[in-house]
Amino acid sequence: MRYDTRFRLPALVAVGLAAFAPLALAQSASADAFGRLQGLAGAWEADSPAGGKLTSTMVLVSKGTAIEETIGTPAENEVSLYTRAAGRIVMTHYCALTAEGNQVRLEARVTAASQDEFVFSFAGATNLGRDDPHMRRMVLRLRDASHFSEVWTMRKKGKDTVFTLDFARK
């Protein structure tokens, strides 16, 4: 039996496109969802769970391919860096809960280009001791152009503490 080679290349191309279509859709949704986070660029303020006020400054860096968030007070602050990857948003949180600091990596799956909630879950860490306090989870919710919230879960010696920061644009 002999195959007609005129149909082999188009068939291979069709199979290849079908195989990579989900990846292309995931990258597109990831880019659109990341674009929603880029809209947070600017200065924000929230009540601190410990009393007083916290600020969050969101800055687009590296030609807009990353978002740098500095959160805290002028005297004490932490930085989180958000980037996108196929089908997810990756955050590295540079924590100041210990004298040595740790770098926790959290990831949120992108489920829709227009999503308003990003659930960042623990994916790994560097410079983290067994009982060191660190962030395990963060849920970022976009409310409107002037409001968003972050619900953080901190783990310390095996116990989780949850706190919410409700930010308003300054």
Cβ neighbourhood burial of 109 (10 Å; 0-12, 13-18, 19+): middle
* pLDDT bucket at 4, cuts 50 / 70 / 90: low
Its pTM stands at 0.82
Does 23 or 116 have the greater pLDDT score?
Answer: 116
CA torsion, ordered 16, 111, 113, 170, to nearest 10 deg: -150
Instruction: Return the closest-CA partner of residue 157 out of 110, 89, 114, 97.
Output: 97
Query: How many CA atoms within 13 Å lie on the side-chain side of 90?
Result: 14
In single-letter form, the type of residue at position 10 comes to P
Please give the domain boundaries of the chain with CATH numbers for all domains.
Answer: 5-169 (2.40.128.20)
In tens, the pLDDT along 87-143 reads: 899 999 999 998 889 999 999 999 888 899 999 999 999 999 988 999 999 999 999
In tens, the pLDDT along 61-78 reads: 999 999 999 999 988 999
